[in-house]
Amino acid sequence: MLAFFSRSILLGIITAVVLLVAIPELRHKVFTAPDSLSTVETSQSQMSFNYAVRRASPAVVNIYNRRYNAEDRLKLSTQGLGSGVIMSDKGYIVTNYHVVAEADQVIVALQDGRFFTAQLIGKDRRTDIAVLKIQADNLPVIPLNPNYQPAVGDVVLAIGNPYNLGQTTTYGIISATGRSGMSFGRQDFLQTDAAINDGNSGGALVNARGELVGINTASFQQATDIETYGISFAIPYELTHKIMQKLIADGRVIRGYIGIDGRDINPVMARLYDADQISGIIVMGMDPEGPAAKSGFKIQDILVEIDGRPVTDKRNVLDIVTEIRPGSTVEMKILRNGEPKILSVLVSDEPNGY
C-alpha cells in the first residue's frame, strides 16, 4: 500500500514538472499569484470621510456660555456649552440662539488652541440662530457650496463638542427635508440620523466633501421630550446664510407682518366657497389692529396672490410676507364670494419680534 501511494505521488510530481516545462505561462501564474492577490487587496481603498472632516473641522469651534453669579455680581461662571461655525474670515460665527440666549459673556475656543471673547452681533429665536464675532487673524472658514441642494439619502457628518468631550464627528444620512412645526421654531429643518447631543448645538452638518449643509440644532427628544434615537435636526445652510446676513445688517431679523390667520384651501373647499381657484388660504382670523384688517380684509376671504406672486398655502404666505420690508405697500388679490378684489396693504413690522 505504501509503495502504491509513493508511486502515485512521484507520478504526480513528474507530471507537474513536465507541464511546467512544456507550458511556461503556468510557471508565471503559479509563482506570482500571491503577489497579484496582495496587489488586489491593497488597491481597494478603505471607505473614509477623513478628507471631509479635515476640511471642515478646523472651522467648528467650542462655545462656552458664562453668566454672572447671583451671589457675586463680579464673578462669572460657565453655565452652558455648545458649538459654532466660522462663516467668514472677518470673524463671523454662527451658532444656535439657545446656546447664547442667556449668556453674559461668550467664550469661543478654536481647534488650534486659541481662545476669544466673542461679541454678540444678533440673535433670532424663531430660527434658533445667533451670530457672534471675534477679532482674530488666519481664521479657518467652513467650506461653502451655495449650489448644493440637500437630498434624502445624502451622507452627512455632524461635527461639534458633545458633553464638552472635545470635538467629535458623527455619521449618518439626511433622512428627510422640509420638516416644520417643531416646538422650537417654524422654519423647515433637515432631518438626519447623525447623532446630535448636548454640546453639538450650533455645530456643522457637512456633506462628504466637507461643505456646510446646515447648523445642528436639536434632537427630536430635546424638541418634544419623547425618548427616541436616530432623529435629529439641522437648520439648512440657505436659511442660515439669509438670517446671518440680516443679523449682521440690522442686529435682528426684521420681518413683515399683515396680521391674518388662515387655513389652506383645497379643491373641495374651493367649490364650497364658490371659487374656481384651487390654491390659496382662507382667512379664518385677524389681528383687529393689524395691516390686513385696516386694509379691508374680511373673515372667509380667500387670499390668492401677494405682490403678483401666487399663494399656495399658509407656509408660502408666511415666507412671502416675512420677506417684505415693513413700511412697504403691497397689492394682495383676494376672492370674496367668488369675486376677485385687489386690496392695498401697508406691511408693518412683526410685533414682539426677537
The answer to whether 262 is annotated as binding is yes
Cell, residue 282: 382662507
The answer to whether 258 is annotated as binding is yes
Instruction: Mark residue 141 as left, alpha or beta (left: phi above 0; alpha: psi -120 to 50; beta: remaining).
Output: beta
The answer to whether 214 is annotated as binding is no
User: How far is Cα 52 from Cα 45, in angstroms, rounded to an integer?
Assistant: 16
Catalytic residue list contains 128: yes
Instruction: Output the CA angle 235-240-242, nearest 5 degrees.
Output: 140
User: How far is Cα 323 from Cα 2, in angstroms, rounded to an integer?
Assistant: 96
Instruction: Mark residue 352 as left, alpha or beta (left: phi above 0; alpha: psi -120 to 50; beta: remaining).
Output: left
Catalytic residue list contains 98: yes
| Helix ranges, 44-148 (H) | 50-56, 97-100
* CA distance readout (Å), 42 to 28, 31, 37, 45, 268: 21, 19, 9, 7, 64
User: Which residues lie closer than 8 Å to 228 by C-beta, 6 or more apart?
Assistant: 220, 221
The answer to whether 256 is annotated as binding is no
The answer to whether 179 is annotated as binding is no
* CA distance readout (Å), 119 to 60, 135, 198: 17, 9, 23
Among the listed residues 57, 98, 219, 301, the single catalytic one is 98
Among the listed residues 128, 154, 193, 301, the single catalytic one is 128
Catalytic residue list contains 201: yes
Among the listed residues 57, 83, 175, 201, the single catalytic one is 201
The answer to whether 315 is annotated as binding is no
Q: Any idea which residues carry the catalytic annotation?
A: 98, 128, 201
Residue ranges for the known binding site are 258-263
Binding residues for substrate: 258-263
